[in-house]
Amino acid sequence: MSFIYDKLLGGKSGALGLLVLSILILVVFPLALDGFRLNLIGKYLTYAFAAMSLVLLWGYGGTLSLGQGIFFGLGGYCMAMFLKLEASSPENTAIQSTPGIPDFMDWNQITELPWFWEPFSSFGFTIAAILIVPALFAYIIGVAMFKRRVGGVYFAIITQVIAVILTVLIVGQQGFTGGINGITDLRTLNGWDMTSDSAKYLFYYINCALLITVIVLSRFILTSKFGRLLLAIRDKEDRVRFSGYDVANFKIFIFCFAALVSAIGGAMFTLQVGFMSPSFVGIVPSIEMVIFAAVGGRMSLIGVVYGTLLINFGKTTFSESFPELWLFLMGGTFIAVVMFFPNGLAGLWEEYSTPLMKKIRAKIQPSVTAKPSSSSYETKESK
């Protein structure tokens, strides 16, 4: 029992934070918001997967990837390809010159389903692909980079270039990928209407459940010996290497795991929003994911969920009413977070709430004062 409490939930404050988050996304949002707004929240929460992957990779691993959009996009595209094939059954596409293939292929004079689309007609294969393809891609990149001790700034730039390559490739190969518009008009999942209200609620809850699972799983990884080593690598890589550990393998693992987490977010995005396009793959979305993580707190798995919600909520509100102001605000946020609160919202919370809580506790129970602080795992580790 105490194993579960300490390792999975992260001790007292970690468990409390998770509980508050769960109540907020599982109870408060569905009760307080209408279907449309809830769907929007669901969309934001899929970005939180990518932001969480950056907590693992960047906050704890010290390796900044500017290409989490790659994996978010790969996951999303795998799901979208399955849904698109289902939507392009020969009956639905009878008016095309070649029935049975996706409409954008028909527009681009392609008469046969390309080989890499074929297996995506199976749901089981699609789920496996979402879990394996992005992680495998991350493994290849990771082996090539980390084994040769490429890290830091160079890793960031190269992941960014890979994101550019993938975006240009998707936009350029319109016949195979749907081009700049992406894969659209996704309506049914195994014959079940995805656009209905009940489906939207179900997807939202699945999304939340996956999000909480990922938080718990990540906590488990971070509180294990592996997590300790990861932090040690971040702070003094050479010393860990000289102690006899193969640093590259640890980085490769966390990079693959981060890719997997982002891919799950991407797949859930496609299910909830009903399309996938290259605008969620390239440089800008990838950097936005970094800002979600930075605003939420790069060391806090729960903080980044709030960070993601806050930034996206701000983006939706501002870009509706003051589109001009939004970019100024976003740019200002970047600078302010980096310069004034490098630990983001979670850091601010720790800084102000912990002393306050202590004061309150001291008032209630004046006898128990000299107790050592019971701050969360995350602050103990942060510098």
**Beta carbon of residue 368, minimum distance to another protein (angstroms, whole number):** 39
Closer residue to another protein in complex, CB, 239/359: 239
DSSP letter for 116, please. Answer: T
Please state, in angstroms and rounded to a whole number, the distance separating the CA atoms of residues 185 and 222.
Answer: 40
Apex 347 CA angle, 341 and 349, nearest 5: 120
Site for another protein in 7-66 (CB under 8 A): 58, 64, 66
Q: Which of 126, 160, 300, 382 binds another protein (CB under 8 A)?
A: 160
What DSSP designation does 224 have? Answer: S
Interaction between residue 363 and another protein (CB under 8 A): no
Q: Among residues 23 and 168, whose Cβ is nearest to another protein? A: 168
Least Cα distance to 366 among 354, 358, 374 occurs for: 358
Residue 10 or 151 with smaller CB distance to another protein: 151
Q: Tell me which stretch binds another protein (CB under 8 A): 33-41, 283-291, 304-312, 355-363.
A: 283-291
Does an H or E element contain 234, and which?
A: helix 225-235
Site string for another protein, 172-211 (x = CB under 8 A): x---------------------------------------
For residue 176, the minimal CB distance to another protein (Å) is: 12
**Ramachandran area for residue 238 (φ above 0: left; ψ -120 to 50: alpha; else beta):** alpha
Q: Answer yes or no whether residue 158 interacts with another protein by CB under 8 A.
A: yes
Cβ proximity to another protein: between 331 and 355 the closer is 331
**How far, in Å, CA of 91 to CA of 78, rounded?**
23
Rounded Cα gap, residues 137 and 78, in angstroms = 13
**279 binds another protein, rule: CB under 8 A:** no
Judged by beta carbon, residue 154 or residue 226, the one nearer another protein is 154
15: its two tokens: 């468990």
- Of 17 and 73, CB closest to another protein: 73
Residue 290 DSSP SS3: helix
* 85-93, 125-133, 312-320, 335-343 -> range binding another protein (CB under 8 A): 335-343
DSSP secondary structure string, 35-58? Answer: HHHHHHHHHHHHHHHHHHHHIIII
3-class SS at 143? helix
CB of 151 to another protein, least distance (A): 9
- Which among 75, 46, 76 has a CA at the least distance from the CA of 135? 75
Q: Which residues are CB-contacts of 362 (< 8 A; sequence separation ≥ 6)?
A: 368, 369
Structure-block tokens of residue 366 = 């004046």
**Is the CB of 216 or the CB of 287 nearer to another protein?**
287
Give residues 96-155 in contact with another protein (rule: CB under 8 A).
144-145, 148-150, 152-154
Q: How far is the CB of 85 from another protein (least distance, A)?
A: 25
Token pair listed for 371 = 């107790």
Q: Which stretch binds another protein (CB under 8 A): 184-192, 212-220, 333-341, 362-370?
A: 333-341
Give, in order, the Cα–Cα distances in Å from 291 to each of 47, 154, 206, 309, 312: 11, 19, 25, 12, 11
How many residues touch another protein under the rule CB under 8 A: the total is 41
Q: Min. distance of Cβ 342 from another protein in angstroms?
A: 7
| 287-326: contacts with another protein (CB under 8 A) | 287, 290-291, 294, 324
Query: What whole-number distance in Å separates Cα of residue 90 and Cα of residue 358?
Result: 66
As a whole number of angstroms, the distance between CA 358 and CA 364 comes to 10
Assess 339 for contact with another protein (CB under 8 A).
yes
Q: Which listed residue (81, 162, 263, 267) binds another protein by CB under 8 A? A: 162
Q: Which residues would be at the binding site for another protein (CB under 8 A)?
A: 58, 64, 66, 144-145, 148-150, 152-154, 156-158, 160-162, 164-165, 168-169, 171-172, 283, 287, 290-291, 294, 324, 327-328, 330-335, 337-339, 342
